Amino acid sequence: MPPLGSIVIVTFNSAEHIQACLRSLHEPGWERIVVDNGSRDATVELARSHSGTQVCASADNLGFAGAARQGVRWARGELLLFLNPDVVAEPGALAALRAAVEPNEVGAVGGRLLNPNGTTQAGFVVRRFPTLATALAEILLLNRIFPGNPWNRRYRCLGMDYERAAAVEQPAGACLLVKRQAWEAVDGFDERFFPLWFEDVDLCRRLRARGWKIVYEPRARFHHAGGHSLGAVPEKERQVYWYRNLRRYFQKHHGRLAGVVLRMGILAGMLLRAVATLVGVGPRPDGRRAALDAYAQVIRCCVFGRAQE
């Protein structure tokens, strides 16, 4: 008998969190699948110690999208829940997600992500699709100087009532349930968004374009530590991944002209950061050389380098 759903957890050096995550996922009828992206800690051993958990350990880093697709190939459920390893489900959370996705028109649902103090992760749990204006507000430091600007508020849904279920554009990929029918209709995550960032935005955009509804369900409560695997990624590489995949997203969904404007915005944003660093705003003196190197690397890779469509 097939399970009610399949939970796919992509790990990378997640030993600190994976046990708590797996312990919280024991509602009957759900299978648990861990796809590990070449962890160098005890993640794989700890995951295998949980009875009933399938573990696929890769020697290489497949990226989030690639590893998630690998997990789907193992999965038997008609519901696919993509969950970060630093997420812990409250009792009843999986049932709430399953109920929210029952209507025929609903293709995906996101849960309510909570901070350690129990507050909702406002600005992260649900967002709208990026526009050129919202991307430039982030790149050109407007959001840092004036976080209450209208573009940022709209993009991050900062006026949203998180107590109510609602149709949304893009729930956070840290907790995203997708019907297999909807997943197959758009061919799942795009592996070109390597190793992470914007693969979930791209998926949701394609789902909506095919007529699927995406909803936010506040009764599905999950505690989320956030960003644990990024600590092992050097800052220079982290920035390149983010800007490169932002550029790829815009080339894919907004066309060539928007891509050119975005690249010029990235160039201006890196130069602004470099000037601020040189005049003593931002990183400490011992970190300024590394910061300048990171900005230069972003310019080389994400402004003048190629990004595949």
pLDDT digits (tens, 9 = 90+) for 139-178: 999 999 999 999 999 999 999 999 999 999 999 999 999 9
Tell me: do 94 and 189 sit in the same domain. Answer: yes
281 pLDDT tier (thresholds 50, 70, 90)? confident
Mean predicted confidence (pLDDT) in 206-220 = 98
Please write the tens of the pLDDT for every residue from 32-60: 999 999 999 999 999 999 999 999 998 88
**Lowest-confidence pick of 21-35, 98-112, 209-223, 293-307:** 293-307
- Whose tokens are 């490169």? That residue is 244
Dihedrals φ, ψ of 25, to 5°?
A: -110, 60
Residues 40, 79, single domain; the answer is: yes
Does residue 275 share a domain with residue 246?
yes
Token pair 């699709």 is found at: 129
SS3 217: strand
Instruction: Yes or no: say if 68 and 193 are a contact pair by the CB < 8 Å rule.
Output: no
Candidate from 56-70, 109-123, 183-197, 218-232 with smallest mean pLDDT: 218-232
Q: What is the mean pLDDT of residues 180-207?
A: 97
What is the per-residue DSSP string for 149-201?
A: -HHHHHHTTTT--TTS-EE-SEE-TTEEEEEHHHHHHHTSS-TTS-SSSSHHH
Do residue 205 and residue 255 come from a single domain?
Answer: no
pLDDT (0 to 100) of residue 229: 61
Q: Are residues 219 and 283 in the same domain?
A: no
User: What's the confidence (pLDDT) of residue 287?
Assistant: 83
Q: Give me the number of domains the chain comprises.
A: 2
Same domain for 173 and 238? no
Percent of the chain whose pLDDT exceeds 70: 95
Predicted confidence at residue 3, as pLDDT, reads 93
Cβ distance 2 to 78 under 8 Å?
A: yes
What's the pLDDT at 309?
44
Q: Domain limits at 175?
A: 5-125+162-229
Mean pLDDT of 114-122: 95
- The pTM assigned to this predicted structure is 0.94
Q: Give the pLDDT confidence of 3-13 residue by residue, as tens digits.
A: 999 999 999 99
The answer to whether residue 21 sits within a structural domain is yes
Q: Are residues 267 and 204 in the same domain?
A: no
Phi, psi of 307 (to 5 degrees): -125, 120
pLDDT, position 235: 72
Query: Are residues 57 and 203 both part of a single domain?
Result: yes
Is 275 in the same domain as 190? no
